């Protein structure tokens, strides 16, 4: 992939050093230089498991469900002449973003030939934490992009991925373009681009476990068997076929099978109800965040009948079973949910966290 796939990036500011400058070729101006960056979030996974790479080596991988709207924004003010460890972060609890900024400073200084320096990183955003929507990765990528922008650089997705994995050990593929890709989250590399775009989906979002955050480090580690790897390979093949042919029903079957396997560890008590409601509502399947509480009921918006009626019936059934609904959205880039499915948008009372506060593990805004 090239820098043109740098999704969500802002145009680089004008700075004294060129991106390809050799060490010693540039001199910092001494002025405070500010850069900005943005990164989206996602709505959990369509597929997650252990897959074989091109060399036949096992590695963890996932395919996320993109979600337009929420995201993280970062502003980095570089202070030439200060030591690189003099790096302040607001809010102060964003440790992963702070590590990412420090790594990005080192990388960008190396690329430009400028000395690494400290600065101030300010993060804002509206991605709830603990739900499996990539809130920490969104912070990390926004921070890396803001630091790069302050140096007049635009880093390629591969470089952003490497820095993100170093900052948080495992990273969601939010630095990539919108093509569905099987991504090795612990290595920061693409295992396979599965196609040009996901087929059109309508998704009724909801929260399992009452929306309580999931401590992924506390989850039991399940050994991956040869049979598991064969099953993940089968699901990978089916997902590739579903994307290539636009087969929404097959995609839903893959996502449901992956979500069901995830219950070996997550053990959501409402999962059986979620699958049953999806079936009764005419959905093609369900998807979950394998590291959080967010889930989605997947619909084919082109199926015969009134899609609005199916979505309403699904939301009512989820509410009746005590499964909080969050937002309804689509994977159709050119249309909003309001335009094609669900009438006027409305929001419940949740407000995003202020820049000076930690994000809250709250319910998402509802459409």
Q: Both tokens of residue 191?
A: 């295992």
Q: Is the pLDDT of residue 137 over 90?
A: yes
Q: What is the domain-level CATH number for residue 207?
A: 3.30.70.890
Of 166, 191, 216, the one marking the end of a domain is 191
Examine residue 349 and state whether it is found in any structural domain, yes or no: no
Examine residue 129 and state whether it is found in any structural domain, yes or no: yes
Q: Could you tell me which residues come within 8 angstroms of residue 237 by beta carbon, excluding any fewer than 6 positions away? A: none
Give how many domains the chain has, as a whole number.
2
* Mean pLDDT, rounded, of the chain: 85
pLDDT digits (tens, 9 = 90+) for 263-277: 988 889 999 999 999
Mean pLDDT, to the nearest integer, of 80-91? 95
Mean pLDDT, to the nearest integer, of 204-226? 82
- Coil, helix or strand at residue 112: helix
Residue 77 is predicted with a pLDDT of 97
CB 205 within 8 A of CB 312: no
Mean pLDDT, to the nearest integer, of 104-116? 96
Of 191, 213, 237, the one marking the end of a domain is 191
Query: Alpha carbon of 249 to those of 60, 192, 279, 306: distances in Å?
Result: 25, 22, 12, 17
Residue 364 is predicted with a pLDDT of 41
Q: Is the pLDDT of residue 348 over 80?
A: no
- Residues 165 and 230 occupy one common structural domain: no
Considering only residues 153 and 364, tell me which one the structure prediction assigns the higher pLDDT.
153
Residue 30 is predicted with a pLDDT of 57
Q: Is the pLDDT of residue 226 over 90?
A: yes
Complete DSSP assignment for 198-266: PPP-EEEEEESGGG----GGGSPPPPPPHHHHHHHHHHHHHHHHHHHHT-HHHHHHHHHHHHHHHHHHH
Q: Which of 39, 48, 7, 3 is nearest to 183 (CA)?
A: 48
Give residue 311's Cα distance to chain centre: 24
Examine residue 112 and state whether it is found in any structural domain, yes or no: yes
Q: Could you tell me which residues come within 8 angstroms of residue 309 by beta carbon, excluding any fewer than 6 positions away? A: none
The pTM is what? 0.83
Bond prior to 91 in cis (omega within 30° of 0): yes
């Amino acid at each position: 992939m090239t820098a043109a796939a740098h999704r969500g990036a802002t145009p680089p500011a004008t700075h004294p050093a060129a991106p390809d400058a050799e060490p010693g070729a540039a001199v910092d101006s001494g002025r405070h230089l500010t850069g900005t960056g943005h990164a989206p979030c996602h709505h959990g996974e369509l597929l997650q498991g252990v897959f074989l790479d091109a060399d036949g080596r096992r590695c963890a991988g996932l395919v996320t469900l993109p979600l337009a709207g929420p995201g993280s924004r970062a502003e980095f003010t570089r202070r030439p002449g200060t030591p690189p460890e003099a790096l302040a972060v607001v809010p102060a609890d964003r440790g992963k973003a702070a590590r990412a900024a420090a790594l990005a400073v080192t990388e960008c200084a190396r690329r430009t030939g400028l000395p690494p320096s400290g600065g101030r990183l300010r993060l804002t955003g509206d991605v709830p934490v603990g739900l499996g929507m990539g809130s920490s990765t969104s912070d990390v990528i926004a921070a890396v992009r803001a630091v790069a922008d302050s140096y007049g650089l635009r880093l390629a997705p591969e470089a952003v991925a490497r820095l993100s994995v170093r900052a948080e050990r495992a990273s969601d593929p939010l630095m990539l373009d919108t093509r569905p890709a099987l991504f090795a989250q612990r290595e920061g590399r693409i295992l396979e681009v599965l196609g040009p775009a996901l087929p059109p989906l309508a998704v009724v979002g909801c929260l399992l476990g009452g929306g309580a955050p999931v401590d992924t480090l506390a989850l039991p580690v399940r050994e991956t068997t040869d049979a598991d790897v064969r099953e993940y390979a089968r699901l990978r093949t089916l997902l590739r076929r579903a994307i290539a042919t636009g087969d929404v029903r097959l995609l839903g079957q893959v996502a449901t099978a992956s979500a069901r396997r995830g219950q070996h560890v997550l053990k959501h008590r409402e999962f059986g109800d979620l699958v049953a409601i999806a079936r009764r509502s005419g959905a093609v399947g369900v998807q979950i965040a394998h590291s959080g509480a967010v889930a989605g009921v997947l619909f084919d918006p082109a199926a015969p009948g009134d899609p609005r009626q199916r979505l309403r019936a699904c939301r009512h059934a989820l509410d009746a079973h005590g499964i909080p609904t969050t937002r309804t959205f689509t994977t159709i880039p050119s249309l909003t949910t309001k335009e094609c499915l669900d009438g006027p948008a409305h929001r419940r009372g949740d407000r995003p966290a202020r820049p000076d506060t930690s994000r809250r593990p709250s319910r998402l805004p509802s459409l």
